Structure 1
């Protein structure tokens, strides 16, 4: 089995000699740091994933669920809202972490099998992020503004364009050509935002700008005389509860929240939302044909590929390709929301594995590795329709957040084969579990690391996840969505080793055996 590539980089190697020489000069001028120490920090070749680190976390697997240190006795419940208070599990709150392990406030060691709700692909205290500390020590500031986007942010934008278009690192001329392209479906614009919610919102606003002016200085929109209709993935009752594209009001109306407000918007002809059946092209085409003629116009199709908010169901490649062709033929933009799937697949973008050509790609969570909240909208020349104030966020241009992106991307790019192999391995092990317990498990859903286990019975998935949680293995049950099969959701980090995956699967096997014997 392929070994993980450690990767070594200094700030000079990652960010470039000319830029770092300027940083060093500025550090000497502004701070009490001598030239020798500044050069050392800039030249410090950090090993991203040393063998000793991997051995340490693998060795600690046997301690999962045990009491490593005494439980913290400080009483501090904060000041949460009622909903957050009800959901809180402060015993599992982090005192520290190492790789795919977390030390809870109860002093026990936890196995991070959902990547801390999907935003730590490199686990806790990833050694490569030492470069962020080196950058801080050299005085590289984090806060910038939209008009003063820093060098690291600009470098990241170029790297995102390179990787989202599948261009090799040495093909700089190809990147230059992509950056000036005005062709459809060529992703060459990056909008730096703070969270995935804001990136999705920006994409929705860009699609709406073809129907409504942002302000009165804008020209008449292309479809100003039509009612925009957005297509989203439906739940199994035909409603919108399956899709999730952030927590702004418009995005929430797309998943059946704020129903009374949405009904008034729809009745007034402001916009409509049309849920379409999962992996059912005929249903999509029927509804598309209905709403792509006056007084309506198909305004956009918004989708994930792995629906981690609806049981981890996977949209099929054939379905998406047919939908994309229909939308492209009818001037309907497509937004591929990769907040859940980005970074967990070779090449970092799952849409590329599918061979898709969206107008918008939304990324975040996985890219900054849990170090910062930083998302990005990547779009095309044609869809670049808002002015600066139409979609900005003040702290979207953070330099150290961009550095976290570059570090994570470098490790993932060098480990593409490892990520693929471990994804296949993990999915295969889950399918073996399903075959061993056919009376409990209906099927395995998702793809690779983003996998879910569909149970036949709600009680069984609740028992399964509770026992694992009680033993400090982080897995959750999804049983509250409309007609969604009761599912146990998992998402091991991309640094997961064979030892970690084997340990996790073994623990699941033990619990399934227990449930089976008691049935």
Structure 2
């Protein structure tokens, strides 16, 4: 996922939200933490997170369409809390390396059972950045090659190898040389493709031509890493990913899909890749930890189980029983509550209603996404498609003041990723609020 470039601007201000209590806490925050872009300054305080909502220090609630992707089954989901409580009661909250435990093995078995048949094995780790590192190291060891292919502007984690793969200048500038061999491609863009093409296949073929050039001129590529649905909610065609997979297989390049944001139902299927092709390695995280514990991992094929002479996931919490119990509860909840079907249906309705706003308002240039993974592109002009950062910021501010939280992607795209437990009434509330915001511009 790309850095939130719009929120990095110095002129972005979210005002009129805090009481004196909250302002005091924000000031204490500013004095206590190292300041870093995208985290400082903070907008507001949080006193509680429950269900699909955040509550600030004054008790005001916000329907959360961001959640850093961890709120897949809602904040403080009762089933997840129950799993944690049982694990603590059973006095098994940690497992040292070279020991195993029932929750970790049960989670591994569950993941294999719900995933495409090609996946037979897993590894766990504390967070998504580490999971990306594991996936890439596995690919390099397996292929005996060392270069990577990925896309400009994307974000795959904060580790040194991950930021090299992600190619987001925000995270790389000032560090000097990073990981060598990281080759980058243009991210397919169907809305603003530089050639002005309208036909999807024609657009795909041009981006595929660039991929073929890189593969032809670089014989040591171990892996291609990408989100199956891009960070700005652009949905590539199935044809595109089929051609990519074919090229990778032909050239002994492993295809790695970063599903840290999209796994466990967000697109209406358990994994977003199920809409396209099965990768060689699939990376999971964020919602995997139920919004309570940090946990992530990889799924891969049996052919990759040939590196027992190396360590690619040497983490203290690689088989943490508490985290494992939480993650299994997340998967069970998604299945038991039939969230895949619900997300597909509600997401389709949500998108169709956003498209009605697109027809009504000249500043709504594009609506894209799948399931409850949607985006609204705010523009100055539908012909030129010039990004309107000012209006996008104004809309975000308006919605925050009216009880809705989301973030901006690329400075002008409303990034809409609510909890999968969101109701149709809550979607309607968002639509009405957004429409009021658009009318106020």
User: If the TM-score is normalised by the length of the shorter chain, which range does it land in?
Assistant: 0.7 to 0.9
The match for 1:448 is: 371
- Equivalence map 1:74-473=2 (5 Å): 76-77=28-29, 79-83=32-36, 87-89=40-42, 91=44, 93-114=45-66, 116-136=67-87, 138-165=89-116, 186-210=118-142, 221=144, 223=145, 228-233=146-151, 240-241=152-153, 243-254=154-165, 255-257=167-169, 258=172, 270-278=180-188, 280-293=203-216, 296-308=219-231, 311-343=232-264, 344-354=266-276, 356-387=277-308, 389-414=311-336, 415=338, 416-437=340-361, 439-456=362-379, 457-473=388-404
Q: C-alpha deviations, 1:459-501, integer Å up to 9, x for none?
A: 2111111111222310222345xxxxx2111111100011111
1:94-113 CA distances to partner (integer Å, 9 max, x unpaired)? 21133112211133222212
Counterpart CA distance in 1 for 2:407 and 2:254 is 34
Stretches of structure 1 that go unaligned for 5 or more consecutive residues are 1-64, 166-177, 179-185, 212-220, 234-239, 481-485
* Paired residue total: 396
Q: CA 1:71/1:384 → structure 2, altered by over 3 Å: closer, same or farther?
A: same
| Distance in 2 between residues matched to 1:111 and 1:326, nearest whole Å | 43
The question of whether the paired residues in 1 share the 8 Å contact of 2:155 and 2:168 is answered with no
Q: Which runs of 5+ in 2 are unaligned?
A: 1-15, 190-202, 380-387
Q: Per the alignment, do residues 88 and 68 of structure 1 end up closer, same or farther by CA in structure 2, a change over 3 Å counting?
A: closer
Residue of structure 2 in register with 1:490 after alignment: 416
Q: Is the 8 A contact 2:267 2:370 kept in 1?
A: no
Distance 1:508 1:110 in 2: 14
State the shift of 1:259 in Å: 6.0
Contact 1:476 1:489 in 2 (8 A): yes
* Equivalent pair of 2:149/2:224 in contact (CA under 8 Å): yes
8 Å contact kept, 2:150–2:182: no
User: Rg: which structure is higher?
Assistant: 1
Larger relative contact order (CA 8 Å, sep ≥ 6)? 2
Judge conservation of contact 2:208–2:240 (CA < 8 Å) in 1.
no
Task: String of CA shifts for 1:64-89, please: whole Å, max 9, x gaps.
Answer: x9999986966732621121696233
Query: What CA RMSD, in Å, does the superposition of the two structures yield over aligned residues?
Result: 2.8
Displacement of 1:404 in angstroms is 1.2
Give the SS at the match of 2:261.
Answer: coil
Aligned in 2, Cα 1:346/1:264: closer, same or farther, shift over 3 Å? Answer: closer
TM-score, length basis structure 1: 0.70
SS in 2 for 1:97: strand
Distance between the aligned counterparts of 1:111 and 1:189, measured in 2?
Answer: 37
TM-score (norm 2): 0.82
For 1:301 and 1:113, the matched residues in 2 are separated by 30
Structure 2: distance between partners of 1:365 and 1:264:
25
Question: What SS class does the counterpart of residue 146 from structure 1 fall into?
Answer: coil
